[in-house]
Copies of this chain bind each other. A is one copy, B any other.
Amino acid sequence: TVRKLFLLPGDGIGPETMAEVRKIVAYMNSEMKAGFETDEGLVGGCAYDAHGVAISEGDMAKAMAADAVLFGAVGGPKWDAVPYDVRPEAGLLRLRKDLELFANLRPAICYPALASASSLKPELVEGLDILIVRELTGGVYFGEPKTITDLGNGQKRAIDTQVYDTYEIERIASVAFELARTRKNAVCSMEKRNVMKSGVLWNQVVTDVHKTKYPDVKLEHMLADAGGMQLVRNPKQFDVIVTDNLFGDMLSDVAAMLTGSLGMLPSASLGAPDVKTGKRKALYEPVHGSAPDIAGKAVANPIAMIASFAMCLRYSFNMIKEADTLEKAIANVLEKGIRTGDIMAEGCRQVGTSEMGDTILAE
């Protein structure tokens, strides 16, 4: 089989961390006959510099045709003043929308070797393993109108629109329930039904999907603000959290930070399985951003990018054993005390981006 990977390293530390994934892909091709075919494009600020847009039509077409997209990171102070429609993030948002990647899976796990790096007390995060399932193609990110209007008299009015249809909530809820069945079988749905109509509908639809298709899964509802509190108070109470695009953005960042493992956390953005082939479009990216302050210094932590590739093996190519092996290699290297600067601790050995990648590959 040929497995088509499209790489979009993007800006900042994206290219450096993607280079470490390339090594693993090359190894799997030569030693394991994995048959990966890779192509590479531009996204974000570098695409703007080259083409004046955050992603070119050519690269969009390649992303559409690939089995999986690996995405690094976008943005940086250099592009802070570019027009809204071509800002670096627009490339990522277009990929999510046009590939219909409605399901964003963000594991927040605490690597045992790093529990002490959390700002939370270690006993609260040791063994933490939450999966946040975030809706990614709807809500306030894409709803129209989305405008700034000049009202005269020096006044402007900005409008963003949160829109959710039943089917959008149904499909993300189903993903959450399915995944819960492979884990601790518990879903917590978060919204603001006490303030938002979209929260009311969200709550109803999740309740219906649960009743008709997944009555065996434990379901709880929580207001999103209370959910943020509970994440800080006692994160281990959660298994799978399902929530909308904007709440998912906030809550997954808080959850990621709780683990103390921000530079280690991957994510997967998945579309619906094709009715004929069963294949789903997919994009994999680290939860962390482009970290312009350390870009180009060869010190960035490549683990989130590598762990994103492990998710790619698991969800796009059903290479479960290989994904497990890669994830185990990451955990082992951490256990051995090999660290990049961001997670450096007493008694550990500090390495750069490339050595971290090599060590994981060797492992």
A167-B155 in contact (CB<8A) = yes
Asked if A100 CB lies within 8 Å of chain B CBs, one says: no
Question: Which of B148, B194, B262 has a CB less than 8 Å from the CB of A201?
Answer: B148
Asked if A200 CB lies within 8 Å of chain B CBs, one says: yes
* A197 to B, closest residue via Cβ: B158
Asked if A163 meets B157 with Cβ closer than 8 Å, knowing A232-B232, A234-B119, A253-B226, the reply is: yes
* A194 to B, closest residue via Cβ: B89
Asked if A133 CB lies within 8 Å of chain B CBs, one says: no
Bitwise, A218-237 to B at CB < 8 A (1) or not (0) is 00000011101101111000
B254-A228 in contact (CB<8A) = yes
Residues 251-291 of A contacting B (Cβ, < 8 Å):
253-254, 256-258, 262, 289
Asked if A119 meets B256 with Cβ closer than 8 Å, knowing A159-B162, A159-B198, the reply is: no
Question: Which of B120, B192, B200 has a CB less than 8 Å from the CB of A121?
Answer: B120
- Report the minimum CB–CB distance from A190 to chain B (whole Å): 10
Asked if A166 meets B161 with Cβ closer than 8 Å, knowing A194-B87, A250-B250, the reply is: no
Asked if A165 CB lies within 8 Å of chain B CBs, one says: yes
The count of residues in chain A whose C-beta lies closer than 8 Å to any C-beta of chain B is 59
Bitwise, A56-91 to B at CB < 8 A (1) or not (0) is 000000000000000000010000000010010100
Question: Which residues from chain B contact A201 at a C-beta distance below 8 Å?
Answer: 148, 156, 158
Asked if A333 CB lies within 8 Å of chain B CBs, one says: no
Question: Which residues from chain B contact A159 at a C-beta distance below 8 Å?
Answer: 143, 161-163, 197-198
Question: Which residues from chain B contact A167 at a C-beta distance below 8 Å?
Answer: 155
Asked if A93 CB lies within 8 Å of chain B CBs, one says: yes
- Report the minimum CB–CB distance from A343 to chain B (whole Å): 13
Residues 166-215 of A contacting B (Cβ, < 8 Å):
166-167, 192, 194-198, 200-202
